[in-house]
Every structure is written in structure tokens, then in C-alpha cells.
Structure 1
Amino acid sequence: MKKSIIALAAAAGMMATTAAQADDFTYVSGGIYDWGNSDVYVEGSTRVNPNLVLGAELTDAADFTLRVGGMYFVDFGQQQDVDTFLQAGVSHIDYPSNSFDSSDTGVFAGAGFTTKFDEFSRFIVDARYDTVLDGFFSVGARFRYEFLQNLSGDVGYRVNTSGVDNEVRVGLTYNF
């Protein structure tokens, strides 16, 4: 499990350094994650073009959980300091069972918005539907505060339906 986290962090770091434009969505992040029996997470993303961000997230929830997907920014004519996006991707969960090992793979889709309060802080809100674990809806909010150049504190909370545990994260984010 630890080797997978290190490999994902290295891959995300390489993706991020190849990005043509460094910004708030070209980063590597990791920290403490609580969803069921989990402990840590690592994630990263890179902006491919002005509208498309690709990313991946690996947590140790169950045996492990992996989400890979993207965000596509769209202009709905809202204020210039608010960016809206659509998101989609693939999610996979491996979880132990008393009699056999199980896993579930599905897709997720949703929408959200992000805004900067000032030059040091960013707020991200999204809602999505994920088909794993017989399907569930979730709404999440994250807050990032840059306390050193390119290094931010990251805290988030996600509410899930259908008996799926809510998610809490606290970590550090390094922007490239």
C-alpha cells in the first residue's frame, strides 16, 4: 500500500512538472484522511489546457480507493472570480471481506465551483454521483490557504448518502 502511495505521488509530481502553465490546479497533495478505516491520502492534478484539469486520488480507505478523472471548466456567465466546472472519471474500491476479497469499479460525475477569497486562499465546492458501492451522492467543500510560496494547508469535508461514511481530510498541498 505504501509503495502505491509513493508511486502515485511520484507520477503526479512528474505530471505536474510537465504542465505548460503552473497554477492552483497543478499540484501534489497529501495528508490525513478519514473515511471508514482510512489513514492517509495522496492526490495530484495538472492543467492540460485552460479548461481541462486531469487528476488522481489514492486513499487507503478499505484496502485502497483510487479515483482518476478530470474537471472541465465552463463559463455560465457568472462573476469572473467564480469558476464553475463539470467533473467525471472512474473510481475503484478494494475492500476486504471475511470470506473473500471484493472490489468495485464505477464511474462518477458531478459539478462544482471554485473561488479565491484573496491571493492566498481558495474555496472549492462540488457535488457528484458515484456508482461504486451500489451508488451514492455526495457534496464536498475544501479550503486551501497558502502559508508559504506554493505550499498550502488543505482541509475538507464531504457528506455522503446511502450509508457511506462521510469524509474528512487535512493535508498539505504543493503547487507547481
Structure 2
Amino acid sequence: MKKSIIALAAAGLLGAGAASADDFSYISGGIYDVGDSDIYVEGSVRVNPNLVLSAQFVDVGDFSLYAGGKYFVDFGQQQDVETFIQAGVSHYDFDVSDDTGFYGGAGFTTKFDAYSRLIVDARYDTVLDGFFSVGARFRYEFVDRFSGDIGYRVNTSGMDNEVRVGLTYSF
């Protein structure tokens, strides 16, 4: 039941942004390695020039879910670098226990050229007694609106590090 509600919420979030087309309105999926996981599905939609809403499902344990947003802030840096703060809700569902918490952090993204983008962020998550993480993702557009993604995230406090390889469709 929980998985159905999560899937409907993510589909509604993605459908809400179908009219906007940029690097932050997308659906993505692929292979995810953190502990015993196999796959991930992620979506994001820019609702105005500064706000992006996103959701991510990973099959770690029974499942994990992140739902939140990024708010882009102009600190007067170069035009090809965008900085953001992020916050949201995280949930891990395991056979023996569940835990729900909040995450917050900051990061930046930059385009190397018309086809490639780097996204770097750091955050703190309160689930599972709390942990810090730093991640980097590289996205390369093969053809119009269709990209490949690869990423790595380092976690503290005994959390496994994360590796992801997937495909992204931008709308």
C-alpha cells in the first residue's frame, strides 16, 4: 500500500511539470548500489525559476524514499554555476524497522558544455541516528532529452556508500 501511494505521488509530481523543459524536469532510473539495493527511480520538476521539487525511490531494504526540493540561490557567482539549498523528508523501510526523518543541505551544478552537467551536494539526514553525505553526479546528453547518469555518494556513520548508473529523460 505504501509503495502505491509513493508511486502515485511521484507520478503526480512529474506530471505537474510536463509543460516546462529544462535540465531539472526529468524522470530517471537505473542501477543503484547501496547495501542490498538494485534499482532506483527518480523524478524532478522545476515549478518556478528558483524551486525544483523531486522524489527518489530506491529498493534498499524494503524501500527508501526521498521527497523534497532544491531552492536555487544567486550568490553572484559565474552564470554557468547554479547554487542551491535542499530540504525534504526521507524514509527507510526495513524488515525489522522503519525510520522517517528530514534532510537538508546545499550544493551546486554546472554545465561543462551543451551536453554535460555536474551536480555536487552535501547533506545531513536524521534517519538511522543521522549521517552526513557528499555526492557527485555527472549527466551526459546522448540525444535530445535523453541522457546517461553516473554518480557516487560518500556517507558517514556506517552507512554504505552509494553508486548509481542510469538513464534520464528530460521534459
What range describes the TM-score normalised by the shorter chain of this pair? over 0.9
Distance 2:50 2:16 in 1: 17
Q: Secondary structure at the match of 1:118?
A: coil
Could you say if the C-alpha distance between residues 6 and 104 of structure 1 is closer, same or farther in structure 2, counting changes exceeding 3 Å? closer
Distance 1:27 1:14 in 2: 10
Q: Which residue of 1 aligns with 2:33?
A: 34
Distance 1:43 1:29 in 2: 5
CA apart distance, 1:10: 3.7
Counterpart mapping for 1:125-136 below 5 A: 125-136=120-131
User: What's the TM-score once normalised by structure 1's chain length?
Assistant: 0.91
How large is the RMSD of aligned CA atoms in angstroms?
1.6
- Aligned residue pairs total 169
Task: Decide whether the 8 Å contact of 1:68 with 1:91 is kept in 2.
Answer: yes
**1:62-97 CA-partner distances (Å, limit 9, x unpaired):** 110000000000011111110000000000000112
Q: Which residue of 1 aligns with 2:15?
A: 14
Task: Decide whether the 8 Å contact of 2:91 with 2:101 is kept in 1.
Answer: yes
Letter in 1 for 2:133: S
Could you say if the C-alpha distance between residues 53 and 45 of structure 1 is closer, same or farther in structure 2, counting changes exceeding 3 Å? same
**1:23-81 CA-partner distances (Å, limit 9, x unpaired):** 00000000000011000000101001000000100010111000000000001111111
Letter in 1 for 2:135: G
Task: Decide whether the 8 Å contact of 1:71 with 1:87 is kept in 2.
Answer: yes
Q: Secondary structure at the match of 1:66?
A: strand
Task: Decide whether the 8 Å contact of 2:17 with 2:47 is kept in 1.
Answer: no
**1:123-154 CA-partner distances (Å, limit 9, x unpaired):** 00000000001000000000000001100000
Letter in 1 for 2:15: M
Task: Decide whether the 8 Å contact of 1:88 with 1:110 is kept in 2.
Answer: yes
Distance 1:81 1:54 in 2: 21
Letter in 2 for 1:16: G
Distance 1:8 1:38 in 2: 22
User: Runs of at least 4 residues of structure 1 off by over 4 A?
Assistant: 3-9
CA apart distance, 1:13: 3.9
* Structure 1 unaligned blocks of 5 or more: none
Distance 1:75 1:51 in 2: 9
* Percent of aligned positions that are identical: 72
Letter in 2 for 1:170: V
